[in-house]
Amino acid sequence: MGAKYFGASVRRKEDPRLLTGRGRYVDDIVLPRTLELAFLRSPHGHARIRSIEVRRAASVQGVRRVLTFEDLARWMKPLPIFAATPPGLAARVKFETKHAPQYAMAKDKVRFAGEIVAVVVADSRYLAEDGVDLIGVDYEPLPAVVEAEAATRPDAAVLHEEWGDNIAVAFQHAVGDSEAAFARATAVVRERFRVQRYAGMPIEPRGVIASFGAHDGSLTVWSATQVPHAIQQGLAGILELPVHKVRVIAPDVGGGFGTKAYWYPEELLVSLVALIMNRPAKWTEDRREHLLSAAQARDQLHDVEVAADHDGRILGIRDRMWLDMGAYNTWGTALPWNTVAHLCGPYRVPTLSVDVKAIVSNKAPNAPYRGAGRPEVVFVVDRALDLLARQLGMDPVELRRRNLIRPDELPYDLKMPYRDGNPLVYDSGDFPATFEAAVKAADYQQFRAEQKRLRAAGVYRGIGVSSYIEGTGLGPYEGAFVQLDLSGRLVVSTGACSQGQGLETSLAQIAADTFGVPLEWVTVIGGDTQMIPFGIGTFASRSAVLAGNAVATACTEVRRKFLEAAAKFLEVAAEDLELGDGQVQVRGVPDSAVPLGRVVQACLPTHRAPGVAQPSFEASFYHHVPTVTYANATHVAQVEVDPDTGAVKLLRYVVAHDCGRVINPMIVDGQIHGGVAQGIGGALLEELVYDESGQLLSGSFMDYLVPTAMEVPRMTTLHMQFPSPRNPLGIKGVGEGGAISPPAAISNAIEDALAPFGIRITRTPVSPSSLVTLLAEAERAS
């Protein structure tokens, strides 16, 4: 493959339309006679539904229908879930798991504030909301479960009565002899760390528009989703339609982050209204609904212990953890095991012992959000390592140096399975090189000297480091279907769908290079089930790895077919042809060059003669990976803290990372910048706060604080390119990485800045108020 585009920061193909307001998001799709939906959502965290009275709502002018569970009972089947534990994982870890069905509407009982209780269908969203206002529901409020440790107590209210308790997943796992390791340790640090509940906040909220074709029994659904094929299959199953009669399209999507990798009630309810009422039906989520009912994330509690020898070498880690999954555990063991699988990170951890409980609570359900367990556990471990360094009187950078896995130890077997059930073996990279690159770019030594000088002047600056390993490119497959059109242009269809991150461009770069055409000759279509029959979707840092390699292989095959035809057309052997810049020619004979379209056209039969070859210029390829490939990174944060007000200023942020071969450095920079911004939100600002009755207190952007451009510092990003040996293109995923380390790096930096005061940061977000509280406590204690 020539590499004209691969590795170049070519401008994003999608940007002209997205930046000039010509993108087409779900809400931009307008169909005649569309009805709009509004949902009555539970105001209670936990309550029994005694009765629902809809008569007044139904009488509002313009309200066409009010629907409850009973009205739609025929279709109220458990929503599809992503919960199956891969057999390889189930064989190695003894999980105790329970599942509870989630229905599109609450049945008898509501389990989180925001759960749908009734649907109002009206001529406009305004009228639909007027209808919602008039529905009367008689609730019997129940005690709520809002804290993970408390959820496991015998006197806790139970969400899913048939379970008997609130524990969705429980397991223990050990590698090596943890007890012996702790027994011979010189230093042991113990701490309880809490990572708050926060979530992806795409600029475009969710949205669904559905249209039923009564003439052919087909259903077309546009949804702002990351997983259109899963939505298609789920709808076909519930509605008892052949799969091909359901077409799901994810058009332009304004950010996913995992929030849109979920099978949502609204996707079924909007489709059902279109089906029942034989009119297009639409719902666009507003921000209030998004905060209340879109998938949430994080929310973990860890009691961690790290044992080390006198040189600071880790001997073992023990971690007792609680994960709060919200009301329904749709993703099964994925988050708990992902958390455990990323606990050791780039460090040599000879013994490990974990005790994990994932519980359900009266909060919106969780789904994996950018990082998916990694930001949480990296916060826990990298914070604990800073505590260990302090206890040993060692520089935290030096302590990490002694524990990083060396390149000569790769492939490095963690002796546990990955989330996909296959052995967890780090395949590639140079963790110390990544680490040192970040530390050097952040001028670590110079910062330390400066820090001392400034402290004497009453200025408190700190520096914090965090590193991670990330399994990327989760299988099992993604496909590409590639066609050449009559003019010799390429159409590439894939089940991966861009959420705005630049996938159209990245995949087009691969296709253009592989085939030998200009970039602008490639059209990439993602997220339309009609264009490719099978697909998984975009999440888990998987699309570049899986779809990228699928595109390369499919393009190679179409190219082969094309060269065969061109050989016949030019009457030479295929091996004597060269293809580039959209032309094919006899090698070394520029005069023989013809545009690709001429060859395609020559293959079409005419009334006089058949074509020179079969005009079959298409191929599909489904790239399968047995397991993930491991990306790694080190983040360094520099902060200045005002100890009188608790205000934290981010001065600098450095990321050195290895995502294998970089397709487009500019797009990768963008991925990292966006991820770090979300990580800054997690470190300093964002929190979904529930009160003891399960009310969401941070229900608007006045109270749920996402970072703005003002809170995000300039970043230095260094691309360390250690190709993956696990796929032909040498790619590793990079979609999530940026969000993993900021909570740890920033918290470490803040604690470092305030080292003279001796405070300990054990939870995020670190707010000015929480810092002043810690400082006041430290003052009282001293």
DSSP E strands in 309-351: the ranges are 314-324
Question: Of the ranges 393-401, 497-505, 583-591, 701-709, which one interacts with other proteins (CB under 8 A)?
Answer: 701-709
Region binding other proteins by CB under 8 A among candidate stretches 262-270, 324-332, 576-584, 707-715? 707-715
Q: Which helix (H) or strand (E) holds 130?
A: helix 125-133
Residue of 15, 53, 96, 133 that binds other proteins (CB under 8 A): 133
Choose between 157 and 689: whose C-beta lies nearer to other proteins: 689
Cβ closer to other proteins: 533 or 768? 768
777 to 468, 555, 699, 753: CA distances (angstroms):
32, 63, 30, 17
Calculate ∠ Cα 484-490-493, nearest 5°: 100
Measured between alpha carbons, how far is residue 215 from residues 211, 219, 242, 246 in Å?
A: 12, 11, 15, 14
Considering all CA atoms of the chain, what is the largest pairwise distance in Å, rounded to the nearest integer? 98
CB nearer to other proteins: pick between 203 and 609? 203
Burial class (CB in 10 A: 0-12, 13-18, 19+), 715: middle
Neighbours of 14 (CB within 10 A): 19
Cα separation, 747 vs 193, whole angstroms: 12
Question: What is the smallest separation between the CB atom of 124 and other proteins, expressed in angstroms?
Answer: 8
Q: Using CA atoms, how far apart are residues 615 and 468, in angstroms rounded to an integer?
A: 49
Site for other proteins in 277-296 (CB under 8 A): 286-289
Work out which of 99, 125, 245, 348 binds other proteins, going by CB under 8 A: 125
When binding is defined by CB under 8 A, the residue of 24, 445, 700, 777 that contacts other proteins is 700
Instruction: List the one residue from 129, 309, 395, 450 that touches other proteins (CB under 8 A).
Output: 129
CB of 161 to other proteins, least distance (A): 32
Q: How far is CA 190 from CA 380, 712, 751, in A?
A: 11, 32, 17
The C-alpha atoms of residue 743 and residue 707 are separated, in whole angstroms, by 13
In contact, 482 and 523? CB cutoff 8 Å: no
CB of 602: closest distance to other proteins in angstroms? 57
Which of 454, 456, 522 shows the shortest CA–CA distance to 494?
522
Report helix, strand or coil for 780. Answer: helix
User: Which of these segments, 196-204, 513-521, 552-560, 640-648, binds other proteins (CB under 8 A)?
Assistant: 640-648
Stretch that binds other proteins, among 4-12, 136-144, 222-230, 699-707 (CB under 8 A): 699-707
CB of 213 to other proteins, least distance (A): 30
Which of 16, 92, 776, 777 contacts other proteins by CB under 8 A?
Answer: 776
Nearer to other proteins, 245 or 288 (CB): 288
Which of 3, 91, 589, 697: binder of other proteins (CB under 8 A)? 697
Residue with Cβ nearer other proteins (550 or 688): 688
114 binds other proteins (CB under 8 A): no
Give me the residues paired with residue 620 across strands: 481
CA 493 – CA 498 distance, rounded (Å): 12
Determine the Cα–Cα distance for residues 586 and 324; give it in Å rounded to an integer.
64
The CB-of-267 to other proteins minimum distance in angstroms stands at 20
Count the helices and strands in the chain (H runs, E runs).
20, 29
- The DSSP-derived string for 670-693 is HHHHHHHHHHHIIIII----B-TT
Beta bridge partners of 638: 463, 652
Which one, 241 or 705, has the nearer CB to other proteins? 705
Shortest separation between residue 196's beta carbon and other proteins, angstroms: 12
With binding defined as CB under 8 A, does residue 689 bind other proteins? yes
Query: Cα(153)–Cα(416) distance, rounded to whole angstroms?
Result: 30
For the bound state, the minimum distance from the C-beta of residue 66 to other proteins, rounded and expressed in Å, comes to 17
The 644-683 site mask, x for binding other proteins (CB under 8 A), equals xxxx------------------------------------
Candidate residues 148, 685, 745, 754; the one interacting with other proteins per rule CB under 8 A: 685
State the nearest-atom distance from the C-beta of 677 to other proteins, in Å. 12
Pairing of strands 583-586, 577-580: antiparallel
Stretch that binds other proteins, among 363-371, 378-386, 440-448, 771-779 (CB under 8 A): 771-779
Q: Does residue number 136 form part of the binding site for other proteins (CB under 8 A)?
A: no
| DSSP for residue 430 | -
* Least gap, CB of 207 to other proteins (angstroms): 14
Nearest distance from C-beta of residue 687 to other proteins, angstroms: 8
Q: Does 34 bind other proteins (CB under 8 A)?
A: no
The residues facing 283 across adjacent strands are 208
For residue 744, the 8-state DSSP code is: H
Per-residue mark of binding to other proteins, 556-595 (x: CB under 8 A): ----------------------------------------
Bridge partners, 532 (sequence order): none
- Distance between CA 130 and CA 484 in Å, rounded? 51
**Identity at 729, one-letter amino acid code:** L
- Answer for which of 436, 443, 767, 778 binds other proteins (CB under 8 A) is 767
Strand locations in 325-404 (E)? 352-359
Query: Does the protein bind other proteins through residue 707 (CB under 8 A)?
Result: yes
Neighbours of 484 (CB within 10 A): 28
Q: Which residue stretch of 66-74, 92-100, 126-134, 146-154 sits at the interface with other proteins (rule: CB under 8 A)?
A: 126-134
**What backbone phi and psi angles, to 5 degrees, belong to 401?**
-50, -40
What lies within 8 Å, CB to CB, of 515 at 6+ separation is 490, 522, 555, 558, 559, 579
Choose the stretch contacting other proteins; rule: CB under 8 A; options: 121-129, 150-158, 448-456, 560-568: 121-129
Phi, psi angles (nearest 5°) of residue 474: -60, 135
Minimum distance between the CB of residue 338 and other proteins, rounded to whole angstroms? 29
Size of the site for other proteins (CB under 8 A): 32
In angstroms, the Cα distances linking 758 to 428, 726, 752, 761, 778 are 39, 46, 9, 10, 7
Question: Which residue lies nearer to other proteins by CB, 147 or 420?
Answer: 147
Q: Backbone phi, then psi, for 605, in 5-degree steps?
A: -65, 150
Q: Which CB atom, from 133 or from 398, has the smaller least distance to other proteins? A: 133
**Is the Cβ of residue 5 or residue 460 nearer to other proteins in the bound state?**
460
Binding segment (CB under 8 A) for other proteins, from list 20-28, 129-137, 498-506, 744-752: 129-137
CA gap 707, 739 in Å, rounded: 13
What are residue 688's phi and psi, to 5 degrees? -90, 110
Range 572-581 burial, b when 16+ CB lie within 10 A, else e? beeeebbbeb
Stretch that binds other proteins, among 137-145, 394-402, 588-596, 705-713 (CB under 8 A): 705-713
Q: How far is the CB of 703 from other proteins (least distance, A)?
A: 5
Cβ-based nearer residue to other proteins, 454 or 706? 706
Q: Closer to other proteins by CB, 77 or 288: give it.
A: 288
Among 70, 177, 692, 703, binds other proteins (CB under 8 A): 703
Binding mask 708-747 for other proteins (x = CB under 8 A): x-xx------------------------------------
Q: How far apart are the first and last CA of the chain?
A: 66
If the CB atoms of residues 343 and 364 are measured against other proteins, the closer one turns out to be 364
Contact footprint for other proteins (CB under 8 A): 125-126, 129-130, 133, 286-289, 644-647, 685, 687, 689, 697-698, 700, 702-703, 705, 707-708, 710-711, 767-769, 772-773, 776
